[in-house]
Chains A and B, each alone.
Chain A
């Protein structure tokens, strides 16, 4: 599994040099809904998942701190 993820990461790094979208072509990419992350309002949802589920991380949420025990 880890090898596959590593392979994909390396592949993406390599592919990234193939094309470049110019600044003036980024009108769609710059749409607020295209942001590669979560909005501030999603923090509550992310926190409750961290409390109620075993998995954390890789989602922009915190990965430690707090007991999460209620």
Chain B
């Protein structure tokens, strides 16, 4: 707590000191954004692994996702800019398909995807933000609102930010705040639904159509969630500073408080002190993930960019993260843009990530039924990951190529390969085209 107070005092004193020396020499008012800009982006993501949370930490994690986006920045006048950001994410997931593994197409198995309704979904998202800059461009206000929706989840968010530039625009202090009010439409594993309040238990058609092997007297530990909301409140501070003609740095601090349903309703847990029950090759859930209904997160990050020469730039990043679920993590990355020609820059990059496990995590068949909280979601486990990336950007500042009244400013392509120290692997390829209205 003393640390936070120290940081807040630092920001406050910085604001006070620099407010006295703020720029007041502005004579020419340049437009914040000269013309409307349109970014058309898209990505394709795929992952593999054998620790699916839907099947209690053991099962296929195969997933693919196609995500197109469009971002439009519109100058409303010399000072104000409106941003519209629309996103779609269409995924197919073998693990979430196993919310209901009994599709009749073959023996149910946690390592085989099912063809059920939960095998895919579409996430849609819309963000709008409005920013206003002062005449001297030393003060920037912004407000934003966002909506996102998928089959079992809806989110609405809003927030704002304020930035202040000082010291001949060598220093910038920003504060931002956001609130997300989310709601679940919980979907539970198929074999647990007959055990919900009012359900018919083992008399359900599922258990009449299939034979339970192992412990035939299947009695899971299951109560439906009553609270279906998840709220997130965040406040963030950023301090950036030009340190020399070729060096600049930034520090970021984000504080996030979450409450509500923080468990994922369709993630199974298997207890080691409960006798196992099976249908075909599929182990029936002993319970669903149960996590605390509050979580407080702190993330502190630093960036350092150095212009080495006309060919190389060094972009470094580090982040420390901690939360009250017992997770500590470090992230470090380095990207080295290399200008290989007048219009082409390549971007090799490396990122390292490590985290400790949440207090409530244990692997497949490792929890006890007497525990207060439990999850076998390996995203909350102890792991480290290496990521190697390569990108290329084509830039034409004269926007010679046109589509209708829009000139092509740049093309970005980027590929990343991500591998944990388990057998989890992911690949993501993204492309982006930036157009500017003439």
Residues of A within 8 A of B (CB): 1-3, 5-10, 12-13, 15-17, 19-23, 25-26, 28-29, 31-37, 39-45, 47-49, 51-60, 62-67, 69-70
Whole-angstrom distance between the alpha carbons of A32 and B307 in the complex? 11
Instruction: Tell whether, in the assembled complex, residue A17 and residue B345 are in contact, meaning their CB atoms are under 8 Å apart.
Output: no
Instruction: Tell whether, in the assembled complex, residue A54 and residue B323 are in contact, meaning their CB atoms are under 8 Å apart.
Output: yes
Q: Given the known A-B contacts A58-B299, A66-B148, A70-B91, are A16 and B167 also in contact in the complex, defined by CB atoms under 8 Å? A: yes
Q: Which residues of B contact A13 (CB under 8 A)?
A: 10-11, 13-14, 17, 239
Q: Which residues of B contact A17 (CB under 8 A)?
A: 17-18, 21, 167, 171
Q: Smallest CB–CB gap between A63 and chain B, Å?
A: 4
Quick check: which of B197-205, B218-226, B240-248 contacts chain A, the rest being far away?
A: B240-248
Q: Identify A2's interface contact among B3, B170, B242, CB under 8 A.
A: B3
Whole-angstrom distance between the alpha carbons of A53 and B244 in the complex? 35
Whole-angstrom distance between the alpha carbons of A9 and B252 in the complex? 10
Instruction: Tell whether, in the assembled complex, residue B379 and residue A54 are in contact, meaning their CB atoms are under 8 Å apart.
Output: yes
Instruction: Tell whether, in the assembled complex, residue A23 and residue B169 are in contact, meaning their CB atoms are under 8 Å apart.
Output: yes
Q: Which residues of B contact A37 (CB under 8 A)?
A: 303
Instruction: Tell whether, in the assembled complex, residue B307 and residue A64 are in contact, meaning their CB atoms are under 8 Å apart.
Output: no
Whether, in the assembled complex, B278 has its beta carbon less than 8 Å from a beta carbon of chain A, the answer is: no
Q: Which residues of B contact A62 (CB under 8 A)?
A: 178
Q: List 30 A-B contacts (CB under 8 A).
A: A1-B320, A3-B2, A5-B251, A5-B253, A6-B6, A6-B7, A6-B10, A10-B6, A10-B10, A13-B14, A16-B18, A17-B17, A29-B248, A35-B305, A40-B39, A40-B432, A41-B430, A47-B67, A55-B319, A55-B321, A55-B331, A56-B254, A57-B301, A59-B301, A63-B256, A67-B182, A67-B230, A69-B266, A70-B63, A70-B95
Instruction: Tell whether, in the assembled complex, residue A67 and residue B264 are in contact, meaning their CB atoms are under 8 Å apart.
Output: yes
Whole-angstrom distance between the alpha carbons of A37 and B180 in the complex? 23
Instruction: Tell whether, in the assembled complex, residue A59 and residue B252 are in contact, meaning their CB atoms are under 8 Å apart.
Output: yes
Instruction: Tell whether, in the assembled complex, residue A57 and residue B379 are in contact, meaning their CB atoms are under 8 Å apart.
Output: no
Closest to B338 in A: A33
- Among A23, A32, A34, A58, chain B packs the most CB atoms within 10 A around the CB of A58
Q: Identify B7's interface contact among A5, A42, A63, CB under 8 A.
A: A5
Q: Which residues of A contact B95 (CB under 8 A)?
A: 70
Q: Smallest CB–CB gap between A64 and chain B, Å?
A: 3
Q: Identify A41's interface contact among B232, B243, B391, CB under 8 A.
A: B391
Instruction: Tell whether, in the assembled complex, residue A28 and residue B234 are in contact, meaning their CB atoms are under 8 Å apart.
Output: no
Q: Which residues of A contact B249 (CB under 8 A)?
A: 12, 36
Q: Smallest CB–CB gap between A4 and chain B, Å?
A: 8
Whole-angstrom distance between the alpha carbons of A36 and B253 in the complex? 14
Q: A44-B430, A65-B157 are in contact. List 13 more A-B contacts (CB 8 A).
A: A6-B3, A6-B6, A7-B6, A9-B7, A12-B249, A21-B245, A28-B246, A40-B41, A48-B426, A55-B327, A56-B254, A58-B253, A58-B301
Q: Smallest CB–CB gap between A55 and chain B, Å?
A: 4
Interface residues as binary, B20-33 with A (CB distance below 8 Å gives 1, 0 otherwise): 01000000000000
Q: Given the known A-B contacts A53-B329, A64-B178, are A2 and B4 also in contact in the complex, defined by CB atoms under 8 Å? A: yes
Whether, in the assembled complex, B358 has its beta carbon less than 8 Å from a beta carbon of chain A, the answer is: yes
Closest to A11 in B: B10
Q: Which residues of A contact B155 (CB under 8 A)?
A: 65-66
Q: Which residues of A contact B108 (CB under 8 A)?
A: none
Q: Given the known A-B contacts A39-B412, A57-B254, are A33 and B241 also in contact in the complex, defined by CB atoms under 8 Å? A: no
Q: Which residues of B contact A20 (CB under 8 A)?
A: 167-168, 170
Closest to B96 in A: A70
Instruction: Tell whether, in the assembled complex, residue A54 and residue B301 are in contact, meaning their CB atoms are under 8 Å apart.
Output: no
Q: Which residues of B contact A67 (CB under 8 A)?
A: 150, 152-153, 182, 184, 230, 264
Instruction: Tell whether, in the assembled complex, residue A63 and residue B236 are in contact, meaning their CB atoms are under 8 Å apart.
Output: yes
Instruction: Tell whether, in the assembled complex, residue A16 and residue B157 are in contact, meaning their CB atoms are under 8 Å apart.
Output: no
Closest to B63 in A: A70
Q: Smallest CB–CB gap between B122 and chain A, Å?
A: 11
Interface residues as binary, B335-375 with A (CB distance below 8 Å gives 1, 0 otherwise): 00100000001000000010100100000000000000000
Closest to B47 in A: A52
Instruction: Tell whether, in the assembled complex, residue A12 and residue B358 are in contact, meaning their CB atoms are under 8 Å apart.
Output: no
Q: Which residues of A contact B6 (CB under 8 A)?
A: 2-3, 6-7, 9-10
Q: Which residues of A contact B113 (CB under 8 A)?
A: none
- Among A8, A43, A44, chain B packs the most CB atoms within 10 A around the CB of A44
Q: Given the known A-B contacts A45-B416, A59-B319, are A66 and B182 also in contact in the complex, defined by CB atoms under 8 Å? A: yes
Q: Smallest CB–CB gap between B50 and chain A, Å?
A: 15
Q: 6 tightest A-B contacts by CB?
A: A64-B232, A2-B3, A58-B301, A57-B299, A6-B6, A57-B254
